[in-house]
Structure 1
Amino acid sequence: MADYYGIQLSMWKVANAFDNAVAESFFHTLKTEHVYFESYKNLEEAKMNIFEYVYDFYNQTQRHSTLGYLSPAQFEKNFCAQQKVSLLSVQ
């Protein structure tokens, strides 16, 4: 599927920080901008709250240098338009 969409996978060596930089940056942002300021009553509340933060705020509005200073949602929209693919058909 990666070839179909023109995606290049990056897998270097075990414990290579560069392969994980984007994910590490995301989790740092999630924790320092959101999770550390919340108090959850239970796991379900934590899951819903974090989902809402990621889906409603982070993906829609946070711009990223690795995505050309676009939000993840805008980057995906542009990518799909460029590939002439419906967002609903991407699996």
Structure 2
Amino acid sequence: MQVNPSGYYDWLREPQSRREQEDKRLTVFIKQFWLESGCHFGYRNIHQDLMEAKILCGRDRVLRLMRQAGLEAQRGYGKPKNMYAGKPHTLI
């Protein structure tokens, strides 16, 4: 497999990298802020909440973690369907 023995034994001692561990910790905070927003906020607002809470991370990292966790912002309201102004047209 062409893997250095030292790398293999490092992996045995610590199978998850520090980045993966930090991602798990951040995902907990992201889910918490997302739920507190009523599931409305997207990654930009979640990133601002993290910055206000003194949790440092990048905006793109928040986006990546939200996608992995399946968290999405609730989009705006659409126009009502089948609602037309005025009176219906009649042929005489």
- The TM-score, its normalising length taken from structure 2, stands at 0.34
Which has more radius of gyration? 2
- The TM-score, its normalising length taken from structure 1, stands at 0.34
Structure number with greater CO (CA < 8 Å, separation at least 6) is 2
